[in-house]
């Protein structure tokens, strides 16, 4: 009774897969949670040695699929079959090592390295080569370096991870996966923290991996990357596979249409705003790292800002964009020289609290780390910066609080069963809306948004763009940092380009072009 009846078609399928060189065959996988179908009859195939892109809005089922591949949702907790290397993949919950042993490795969106250890130690963490008495350090570093060199990663195995940039940290993670003889490498939003330059490098490395026969699953929101690198694209929407076809047969508009289920005419909504009078000006600002006075974090920045305009700040990673806005908000750099003027009067910048009272708000870059108290409800997060509004005599007026948070949440279309839901359960786009709601409630005149659409899906991005336009039309001055060239060009009235802590130039709308911006960003 080895082959019972229902197994037989599977057997035939396996033979077919071998002929077509299919490394991973996902067949009719359905995964339900109480009340939600996360994956609904998902089937697609991944060929050996290809780069297979997966895209879809947040909540489309990508993460659930990855959790299954990693064994977090073990075999038996979902229906359907996953055939890997010609046999059924049966991962168990007990050990996360099992997936790695099978040759499936995930490079996570959030990096999972130990900063105070060397690259080599990180690569071999948990499975260090042994001598009879302890760790064989020579073998460890030699092996690491060999892997790094083989795939042209240009990293020294003896370097401490904390000294690497984000891009190289990610490569270290990739090296770690490769050292475990990964046959399938799953990259989850690998470029969300990378500059364009670093992204280019990553693309190059993925091509090297491909030439060595490694299969890659590439999950991303950035469609241009899919077209650059993926051989095949699978689009998921609401837990279902919408399409899985060679990239050659697709174009960007089709892909977006598949993801959101509607044809999107424009990625950036139009706005008819007219910037008003100048309200904010920064003159030749210099600031130093508060922990290390020899480090200049802002090195000569000047710009002005008008009511009701969106000023984009472009620049590569490390150009000091985030440092500049955190300094202006009063929570990072120590200002050494230069002036900051609000309504023509010089203002003192000392703390977030003071900036808020000046009408300046900051939506920070990393919403999980700096924007939200994840273990608290949506309502408490929104009111956190605004409790003074609802408090009299040291007492919070709950009803006033609920009323205000309710109405702002509705205005921003935050999708949640109720406002008492904890923020950790929300999707990235909704989390970002909660952060924005918090700041809108404080009624800012100047809203600084540091990479506001980082890591959120196309649909939510569009909503955020629309919201930004509405705010600008109401007269709020917005400073927007963006890592995506198209976004900064599509949304801004003017663009300030930064390089190494300096403002290089501020471009008017008729001067916008990608080559010009890139030249300024790299030209210092």
Backbone angles phi, psi at 396, to 5 degrees: -85, 130
Take residue 92 and report the two structure tokens written for it: 């168990």
Tallying the residues shown for the chain, one arrives at 524
List 138, 253, 398, 523, residue binding another protein (CB under 8 A): 398
Chosen residue from 8, 127, 339, 369 binding another protein by CB under 8 A: 369
Q: Which helix (H) or strand (E) holds 176?
A: helix 166-179
CA 511 to chain centre: 29
Of residues 11 and 394, the one with the C-beta less far from another protein: 394
Q: Which of 132, 394, 508, 510 binds another protein (CB under 8 A)?
A: 394
Applying CB under 8 A, the span of 58-66, 193-201, 370-378, 516-524 interacting with another protein comes to: 370-378
88-96, 267-275, 391-399, 514-522 -> range binding another protein (CB under 8 A) = 391-399
Q: Choose between 120 and 371: whose C-beta lies nearer to another protein.
A: 371
Could you say which residues in the range 320-349 bind another protein, by CB under 8 A?
Answer: 329, 331
Q: How many residues bind another protein (CB under 8 A)?
A: 33
One of 96, 387, 413, 524 touching another protein (CB under 8 A): 387
Q: Which stretch binds another protein (CB under 8 A): 119-127, 258-266, 292-300, 362-370?
A: 362-370
Q: Smallest distance, Å, CB 385 to another protein? A: 4
Distance, CA of 202 to CA of 317 (rounded, Å): 15
Candidate list 67, 117, 402, 505; residue touching another protein; CB under 8 A:
402
Q: How far apart are CA 330 and CA 349, in angstroms?
A: 5
Span from 151-159, 188-196, 363-371, 473-481 in contact with another protein (CB under 8 A): 363-371
The sign of the torsion formed by the CA atoms of 97, 102, 104, 105 equals: positive
Tell me if 411 contacts another protein by CB under 8 A.
Answer: no
**Which residues lie across from 142 on neighbouring strands?**
none
Tell me the closest approach of the beta carbon of residue 99 to another protein, in angstroms. Answer: 20
Task: Give the residue with the Cβ less far from another protein, 304 or 391.
Answer: 391
Beta-carbon contacts of residue 475 (< 8 Å; ≥ 6 apart): 276, 307, 308
Q: Indicate which single residue of 385, 470, 475, 516 sits in contact with another protein (rule: CB under 8 A).
A: 385
Helix (H) or strand (E) holding 480: strand 477-481
Closest contact distance (angstroms) between CB of 312 and another protein is 22
Backbone angles phi, psi at 282, to 5 degrees: -120, 125
Nearest 5°: the CA angle 298, 306, 411 is 100
User: Element (H or E) spanning 12, and its range?
Assistant: helix 7-20
Q: Strands 215-219 and 184-188, how do they pair?
A: parallel
Q: Report how far residue 77's alpha carbon sits from residue 408's, in angstroms, rounded to the nearest whole number.
A: 39
Give residues with Cβ within 8 angstroms of 145, minimum separation 6: 120, 156, 157
Closer to another protein by CB, 16 or 369: give it: 369
376 binds another protein (CB under 8 A): yes
- Interface with another protein (CB under 8 A), residue from 373, 413, 519, 524: 373
In this structure, what token pair is assigned to residue 135? 């760790």
Q: In terms of CB distance, is 106 or 372 closer to another protein?
A: 372
Of 337 and 407, which has the nearer Cβ to another protein? 407
Looking at the Cβ atoms of 56 and 371, the one nearer to another protein is 371
* Tokens standing for residue 39: 């994956």
- Where in 59-118 is the site for another protein (CB under 8 A)? none
For residues 74 and 490, which CB has a smaller minimum distance to another protein in the complex?
Answer: 74
**Quick count: other Cβ atoms within 10 Å of Cβ 273?**
17
The stretch near another protein (CB under 8 A) out of 115-123, 301-309, 375-383, 512-520 is 375-383
Burial letters 384-408, b for 16+ CB under 10 A, else e: ebbeeebeeeeeeeeeebeebbeeb
Give me the half-sphere count of Cα atoms (radius 13 Å) on the Cβ side of residue 266: 10
What helix, strand, coil percent values describe the chain, rounded to 5? 40, 25, 35
Residues engaged in binding another protein (CB under 8 A):
329, 331, 351-353, 355-356, 362, 364, 369-376, 380, 383-385, 387-388, 391, 394-396, 398-400, 402-403, 438
């Amino acid at each position: 009774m080895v082959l019972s009846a229902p197994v037989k078609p599977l057997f035939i399928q396996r033979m077919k897969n071998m002929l077509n060189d299919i490394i991973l065959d996902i067949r009719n996988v359905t995964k339900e949670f109480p009340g939600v179908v996360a994956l609904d009859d998902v089937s697609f195939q991944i060929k050996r040695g290809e780069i297979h892109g997966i895209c879809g809005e947040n909540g489309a089922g990508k993460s659930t699929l990855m959790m299954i591949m990693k064994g977090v949702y073990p075999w038996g907790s979902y229906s359907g079959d996953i055939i890997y290397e010609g046999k059924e993949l049966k991962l168990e919950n007990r050990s996360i090592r099992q997936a790695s042993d099978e040759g499936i490795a995930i490079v996570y969106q959030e990096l999972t390295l130990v900063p105070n250890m060397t690259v080599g130690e990180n690569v071999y963490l948990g499975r260090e080569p042994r001598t009879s008495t302890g760790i064989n350090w020579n073998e460890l570093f030699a092996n690491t370096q060999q892997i790094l060199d083989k795939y042209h990663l240009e990293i020294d195995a003896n370097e401490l991870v904390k000294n690497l940039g984000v891009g190289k940290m990610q490569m270290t993670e990739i090296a770690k996966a490769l050292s475990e003889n990964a046959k399938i490498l799953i990259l989850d939003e690998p470029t969300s923290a990378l500059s364009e330059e670093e992204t280019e490098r990553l693309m190059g490395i993925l091509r090297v991996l491909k030439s060595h026969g490694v299969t890659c699953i590439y999950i991303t929101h950035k469609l241009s990357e899919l077209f650059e690198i993926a051989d095949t694209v699978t689009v998921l929407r609401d837990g279902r596979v919408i399409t899985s076809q060679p990239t050659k047969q697709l174009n960007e508009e089709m892909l977006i249409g598949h993801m959101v289920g509607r044809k999107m005419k424009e990625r950036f909504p139009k706005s008819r705003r007219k910037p008003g009078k100048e309200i904010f000006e920064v003159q030749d600002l210099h600031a130093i790292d508060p922990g290390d006075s020899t480090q200049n974090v802002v090195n000569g920045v000047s710009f002005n800002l008008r009511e009701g305009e969106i000023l984009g700040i472009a620049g590569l990673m490390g150009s000091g964009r985030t440092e500049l806005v955190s300094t202006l908000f009063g929570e990072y750099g120590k200002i050494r020289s230069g002036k900051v003027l609000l309504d023509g009067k010089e203002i003192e910048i000392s703390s977030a609290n003071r900036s808020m009272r000046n009408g300046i708000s900051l939506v920070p870059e990393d919403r999980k780390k700096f924007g939200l108290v994840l273990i608290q409800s949506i309502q408490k997060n929104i009111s956190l910066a605004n409790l003074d509004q609802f408090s009299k005599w040291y007492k919070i007026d709950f009803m006033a609080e609920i009323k205000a948070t309710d109405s702002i949440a509705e205005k921003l279309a935050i999708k949640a069963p109720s406002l008492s839901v904890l923020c950790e359960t929300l999707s990235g786009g909704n989390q970002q809306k909660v952060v924005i709601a918090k700041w809108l409630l404080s009624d800012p005149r100047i809203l600084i948004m540091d990479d506001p659409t980082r890591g959120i899906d196309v649909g939510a991005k569009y909503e955020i763009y629309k919201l930004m336009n509405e705010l600008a039309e109401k007269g709020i001055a917005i400073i927007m940092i963006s890592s995506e060239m198209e976004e900064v060009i599509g949304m801004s009235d003017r663009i300030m380009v930064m390089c190494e802590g300096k403002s290089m130039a501020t471009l008017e709308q008729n001067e916008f072009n990608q080559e010009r911006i890139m030249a300024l960003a790299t030209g210092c």
